[in-house]
Amino acid sequence: MATTYDSRRLVGIKAERVTDVSSRDFPGHYPDEDHSWNLEKFRENLTVKIRRVSNRSIDFDLVGVDASIANAFRRIIIAEVPTICIENVYVYNNTTVIADEILAHRLGLIPLNIDPKAMEMRVDDESTDRNTIVFELKLECTRKKDAPKDSTNPSELYNNHELLSGHLVWQPAGEQEEVFSKNPPAPTNPNIVLAKLRPGQVVEMTLHAVKGVGKDHAKFNPVATASYRLLPNIVIKKPIPPHLAEKFQKCFSPGVIRIHPRTKAVTVDEENKRKDTVSREVLRHPEFEGFVELSRVRDFFLFNIESESAYPPQRLFTEAIAVMRGKISSIRRAAEALGDQPSDGDVVMADS
């Protein structure tokens, strides 16, 4: 049986426009209905369902929250969940064709496998073993003695003709050796090409990696993508004529529409309807006019998060919640402190 949604939860999708985009669940919007904040009701309505998890990404449904809340988490994952990246590059020698600043920029973008929980934010450029990880980068390209005469393949002709992320060598300092003993700091992928070298070219650098957030620089962004979309909803208003069944099916993404093999009855696959792209192709054909209604469910968020950092994908959402709660508590503390002060900007003497 198809799930039907309360029409108030639906964002209508018409051929040329969308309808009922904004949420209206505020007190006073509907007469004689109570829409004031109620934690019990919210808890009852809320569903979090994890769908798919891989080593890199997670898909989950967040149902029963307002877009502003879902969007806050998405924004926090992208811009405010901290990661570790190379921030300072000290160049002692670089005779490659890549300019220092370009190479430094490329080094900054390398994802590192360091758990940000194990480090502190660096303040005022004061480096300690708690907030800075040091890497050495040294490479010299040389000619291979026994290279075949007619070869044009650089890997046959030269040693070290590529500077790779795997060439970073961690230099433990202070207590780091102990803290990171289980998982020594290194790039998550050792095969990133940073520069190409030819015989005689040398790179010698010291790199300092620090903790930072995506709003400061995109290299600190812990994800490749963090996005959500609304659950598509397809309602067939009256039976599709059997001779049009296949044409109807082709208007949607594969797997969304099922056709009964014998009766040619057309139904929406409840499990697969989330796969629909809502291309609105079906609304372009006059023969389907009045047969189908497209919409999306306003409070049904299909999250997809792809980690590109040290965080396992399932941890990113909880990290975002922790950051959000941290922000709330700092604002709350400041607001509570305001309560003791006068409001009009005039300084009131303590003994007046």
Partner 1 sequence: MVELPPKVTIMKGASPDLSAATYQIHDESHTIGNALRWMLMKNPKVEFCGYSVPHPSENVIQVRIQMYDNLSSLAALITALGDLDDVCATIEEKYIADMQAGDYERWVERS
Considering only the stretches 40-48, 90-98, 128-136, 200-208, report the one whose residues sit in contact with partner 1 under the rule CB under 8 A.
40-48
Q: Residues 6 or more apart from 110 whose CB is under 8 A from it? A: 85, 86, 165, 168, 187, 192, 194
Whole-angstrom Cα distance, residue 63 to residue 3? 14
Q: Which two tokens stand for residue 3?
A: 């799930």
The yes or no reply on residue 62 touching partner 1 (CB under 8 A) is yes
Considering only the stretches 134-142, 196-204, 229-237, 330-338, report the one whose residues sit in contact with partner 1 under the rule CB under 8 A.
330-338
The yes or no reply on residue 48 touching partner 1 (CB under 8 A) is yes
The yes or no reply on residue 225 touching partner 1 (CB under 8 A) is no
The yes or no reply on residue 339 touching partner 1 (CB under 8 A) is yes
Q: Any idea which residue has 């397809």 for tokens?
A: 234
Q: How far is the CB of 75 from partner 1 (least distance, A)?
A: 5
Q: Which of 32, 261, 338, 352 binds partner 1 (CB under 8 A)?
A: 338
Considering only the stretches 138-146, 228-236, 290-298, 343-351, report the one whose residues sit in contact with partner 1 under the rule CB under 8 A.
343-351
| Interface of this chain with partner 1, residues 243 to 262, rule: CB under 8 A | none
Q: What is the DSSP string of 233-281?
A: EEEE-SPPPGGGHHHHHHTS-TTSEEE-TTT--EEE-TTTGGG-----G
3-state secondary structure at position 77: helix
Nearer to partner 1, 6 or 344 (CB): 344
Whole-angstrom Cα distance, residue 161 to residue 195? 9
| Interface of this chain with partner 1, residues 132 to 191, rule: CB under 8 A | 188-189
Please report, for residues 178, 271, 308, the alpha-carbon distance to residue 57 in angstroms, rounded to integers and kept in the order given: 30, 20, 9
Q: What angle do CA 309, 311, 315 make, to 5 degrees?
A: 145
Considering only the stretches 3-11, 45-53, 233-241, 277-285, report the one whose residues sit in contact with partner 1 under the rule CB under 8 A.
45-53
φ/ψ of 334, rounded to 5, equals -65, -40
φ/ψ of 268, rounded to 5, equals -95, 130
Q: Which two tokens stand for residue 49?
A: 């369902």
The yes or no reply on residue 43 touching partner 1 (CB under 8 A) is yes
The yes or no reply on residue 123 touching partner 1 (CB under 8 A) is yes
Nearer to partner 1, 130 or 247 (CB): 130
The yes or no reply on residue 125 touching partner 1 (CB under 8 A) is no
How much is the CA Rg of the chain, to the nearest whole Å? 28
The yes or no reply on residue 348 touching partner 1 (CB under 8 A) is no
Strands 257-259 and 158-159: unpaired
The yes or no reply on residue 347 touching partner 1 (CB under 8 A) is no
Whole-angstrom Cα distance, residue 212 to residue 84? 6
The yes or no reply on residue 26 touching partner 1 (CB under 8 A) is yes
Query: Given the rule CB under 8 A, which residues bind partner 1?
Result: 25-28, 35-37, 39, 42-43, 46-57, 60, 62, 65-66, 68-69, 71-72, 75-76, 79-80, 123-124, 188-189, 314, 317-318, 321, 324-325, 327-336, 338-339, 343-345
